[in-house]
Structure 1
């Protein structure tokens, strides 16, 4: 079966089946323009796409998939060094750009790299055979927080399995209109947010930038956003009212603060759902459309996905709703490995075939998953205790004078690591008050030893807090309250 089922069956097509940053396309028009890309990309070792949120990007990505050529989305905001690394490492011989646009600085001189202009007015009727399901659909590069970005090889079968499982969990059909304004170089915005529509047949509205006004005007039934987007919508009652016709608000890529969850539910009449995934695993755990939508929880494993918690000693961690362990996953959505990185593969997989996510989580007796954070920065070992940063952050966000918070474990001679909280205040509050507030709600040893009041938190393009930067700040002292 075709990966992009709805794109190629022609059923229910319309002139604005896709609207991307103001440009309307029928699926037929997209298919013709993408086939014209495929005619020029066929046989290439890989096709890089400068992945701005445009119709040209979508045509280039679909063209590569039609031709059976691995697609390498290139973050448009990445620096010249990172872009050059991705292009060299992936082996891409072509860089897809909108017609008339020159390659970004530094890329025009890369040996062996040619540009492929994407012209939406071109049409091709070439029909390409469907590649095997084990063929590579994407090489998606990780953020590179621990070195140069690594290319995760994503098979077509993994994409199909994930989209079908999500369609089942979210009751996502051709009757939906999907709305989002997310970047098109990540799983969230590209794989779910574009290919999902082209597989299920739902209409797609990409708002360009994810503004509250743009979301409110779109008239969707299914919305995707990251916590930053939802926080801004929750702070804009007029925009939130425009989402009252939606049946599903999906949040991902970072934890959704409980106060934002509750405010959204009150303003829209729709409690949002959260889901969990990674570049390497796609989406593996999610709340169901017809199930409980529990604040702070990402729900249950998708169809075909298995999960388990493992302690530092390798022993199983019980699903008791309290014990923290590393989350490991297995199932059909997993990547095929890192491109040309057998060393990274060896570190990422267990001997019995489970993928080590590097995230720490808690699983309840009812199977509901709660993600605590990254093992490298969110599992804090302080005074002999294991503390999940996410739990302390959630407690801080419950304070009426806290807009947002991020917690890290700073090196400490006495405790090993000390809990340090970076807080964006929303009113008059002191560090001492916040420390006492957390101690009243959690175990005393989980209270912040230092609170730093800040105007903003450093984030990446998907809204995730860059805790490595906060850790660097914490080791230099910074200003705050004990």
Structure 2
């Protein structure tokens, strides 16, 4: 079971849904003492001790033959658009998926047939982290660092311990913070990004700094990764192997829903994004379906609005949010208003709103706009919808409580 988080609530929910659930661990974890668990007693050794340890073994390790149709994991969606949903992954589908990724890495980067080392800032229970660190190493004969650092200093420290060529598997959030840290950044030979759109500006700054390619991955929990692009070279995505993309419907402009099929994808799967399909192996990504906003007959996307918000000088992080409409009277359902959360320095709330007015239509101005110390991003940089809803409710309540009472 590979849940999006390891908090107590998520673990308890897994236990209720899966009666045979137990926790496999190799270090003491106080939070799981009351749950079924199994501790690995096999020694975990520092890398410099491994070779001596292996040479002392009297017999070779036996590598098991795993049936291709064996379900090896249930991977959960992040919950950014609702409740996390499990998806079964077989050993065969994951193997073919990662083999396709390794082929694409070799196409995009010339490591002169050298083995490379991977460091991931995303945890291995995330689909992207599982594929691009653990399985790339296991199935491709590479090595990877067991840590998944979050802060810039930790990323630098971990990279410096790894031999080259080295690959950093990360997210736009981690990469932006890392690049803006002002630290002396260690050399890397390839950077792979996923989980959110990577801005062209950030990709260009990375390539200028390190003189290396930046590869962006497209995929989802339902299908696994299915395409890549080099954003500074071409905005068009190219699918892996025999994976194909078909247009499912049109929004009147030739763009709309799309379906992925073929190769390691068991059955045609509808994607949660709006794509412009160029041909069966190439497409452009226009945004997420749930990002589409229609207010007063005007259309935009949360992705576009977030981009405009985060380009304002002094905004360190920000996100637009559609408040839940559950308690909204029927006669006012058409009056959707957006909210926004902003982490800012050296800029006031009034100046942020002024800058936004010059960038977006008035219909999409956030009402309200909350200034916060940080956004409640998870370990992959995503913002689960429920967490944002709870934050909005909390801040709204605090705002009402501090308003002067009318006489």
Report the TM-score range of the alignment, normalised by the length of the smaller protein.
0.7 to 0.9
Counterpart of 2:387 in structure 1 is: 469
- SS of the residue aligned with 1:438? coil
Counterpart of 1:404 in structure 2 is: 317
Deviation at 1:369, TM superposition (A): 2.8
Residues 1:221 and 2:155 are matched in the alignment: no
Counterpart of 2:264 in structure 1 is: 333
Distance 1:319 1:158 in 2: 34
Deviation at 1:83, TM superposition (A): 1.7
Match of 2:209 among 259, 267, 282: 267
Q: Deviations 1:337-384 (Å, cap 9, x if unpaired)? A: xxxxxxxxxxxxxxxx53233x233427584432523x34x2222112
Greater than 6 Å deviation, 4+ residue runs: 99-103, 121-124, 145-148
- SS of the residue aligned with 2:338? strand
Counterpart of 2:223 in structure 1 is: 281
Residues 1:231 and 2:176 are matched in the alignment: yes
Counterpart of 2:404 in structure 1 is: none
Counterpart of 2:105 in structure 1 is: 170
1:187–1:282 contact (8 Å) kept in structure 2: yes
2:81–2:385 contact (8 Å) kept in structure 1: no
Query: Structure 2 vs 1, CA of residues 89 and 417 (structure 1 numbering), >3 Å: closer, same or farther?
Result: same
Query: Structure 2 vs 1, CA of residues 129 and 264 (structure 1 numbering), >3 Å: closer, same or farther?
Result: closer
Q: CA RMSD in A?
A: 3.5
Match of 2:297 among 384, 388, 405: 384
Q: TM-score, normalised by structure 2?
A: 0.76
1:431–1:450 contact (8 Å) kept in structure 2: no
Distance 1:102 1:414 in 2: 47
Q: Deviations 1:41-76 (Å, cap 9, x if unpaired)? A: xxxxxxxxxxxxxxxxxxxxxxxxxxxxxxx34677
Deviation at 1:161, TM superposition (A): 1.6
1:421–1:448 contact (8 Å) kept in structure 2: yes
Match of 1:185 among 122, 125, 143: 125
Match of 1:195 among 131, 135, 143: 135
Residues 1:305 and 2:239 are matched in the alignment: no
- SS of the residue aligned with 1:354? strand
Counterpart of 1:26 in structure 2 is: none
Structure 2: segments with no counterpart, 5+ residues: 45-52, 400-407
- SS of the residue aligned with 2:177? helix
Distance 1:461 1:100 in 2: 21
- Number of residues paired by the alignment? 366
Deviation at 1:146, TM superposition (A): 7.4
Matches within 5 A, 1:54-133: 72-73=1-2, 77-79=6-8, 81-87=9-15, 89-90=17-18, 92=20, 95-98=23-26, 104-108=32-36, 115-120=38-43, 125=60, 127=62, 129-133=64-68
- SS of the residue aligned with 2:358? helix
Deviation at 1:267, TM superposition (A): 2.7
Deviation at 1:298, TM superposition (A): 7.6
Q: Deviations 1:151-183 (Å, cap 9, x if unpaired)? A: 311011211121111112221765222222431
Counterpart of 2:194 in structure 1 is: 252
1:381–1:387 contact (8 Å) kept in structure 2: yes
Deviation at 1:445, TM superposition (A): 4.8
1:174–1:200 contact (8 Å) kept in structure 2: no
Q: Deviations 1:225-267 (Å, cap 9, x if unpaired)? A: 1223212211134343x23xx3321111223345533433333
Query: Structure 2 vs 1, CA of residues 100 and 438 (structure 1 numbering), >3 Å: closer, same or farther?
Result: closer
